Amino acid sequence: MKKLVNKVAVITGATSGMALATAKLFVAEGAHVFITGRRQKELDEAVAAIGSNVTGVVGDSANLADLDRLFETVKAEKGHIDVLYASAGMGEFAPLGQVTEESFDKMFDLNAKGTFFTIQKALPLLRDNGSIIMTGTIATIKGMENLSVYGASKAGLLVYAKVWTNELKARGIRVNVLSPGPIDTSVFVGREDMKTFMASHIPMGRIGRPEEIATTALFLASNDSSFITGSEICVDGGMAQV
């Protein structure tokens, strides 16, 4: 039996990789999905790849006016949200001495501020007993070199999940963080050496697939996870766990 029949889901930053794989799975499981992306061409390609029961809305999750337009579209077309997956994010690699103010601001604007206001602005449309999912990272656990700003900008999501679990408990809304390890997305295109290096640090001996993030997101979106909230689920092949 399909797990998201007649559900409405919003997935930000879903034009490629993990979030696109998740949008495809959510539609296959019966949901209508709204996806966002910053560029029209990539958004159109993602909508075509998903094929049906999908609405694409151009927007930058760091731009509050774009978020308003997203949720106005959702309200006009469906009137409510059952699953909100705040997945839009970015990371840049730089050691402490080379981080620029511009890079710092970009990561915090999208990862920390953008995620915060995505959830805040969706609240009026979120149905009771709905599910909120945020994309975190195991860089908040491992202390990876060159990822201090990225990790810090994502660490706040763990606090959001705990606080919002308490704030939204009367409505039965669950809030969880899905934290990937290295996943085979566009960042690894043409970088077989990097994939091999990363795999050598993962107990399972390989990097993950976008579909493995998608199935975990489906678990958190569906009633299968009805007793899970305020939690972080790491999908990392054990990299940050042992």
Helix H, strand E, coil C: the string for 86-141 is: ECCCCCCCCCHHHCCHHHHHHHHHHHHHHHHHHHHHHHHHEEEEEEEEEECCCHHH
Predicted pLDDT at 175: 98
Domains of the chain, by residue range, sit at 8-235
Residues with catalytic annotation?
150
pTM: 0.96
pLDDT bin (cut points 50, 70, 90) of residue 100 is very high
With a cut of 80, say whether residue 190 has pLDDT above it.
no
Predicted pLDDT at 193: 85
With a cut of 90, say whether residue 188 has pLDDT above it.
no
H or E stretch including 167? helix 148-167
Predicted pLDDT at 106: 97
Residue 100 has which token pair?
């620029």
Exposure string for 188-215, b = 16+ CB within 10 A, e = fewer: eeeeeeeeeebeebbeeeebbebebbbe
Predicted pLDDT at 57: 98
Q: Quick one: what percent of the chain has pLDDT higher than 70?
A: 100
Residue 120 has which token pair?
């805040």
Question: How many other CB atoms are there within 10 angstroms of residue 44's CB atom?
Answer: 14
With a cut of 80, say whether residue 208 has pLDDT above it.
yes
Residue 241 has which token pair?
């766990």
Does domain 8-235 fall into CATH 3.40.50.720? Answer: yes
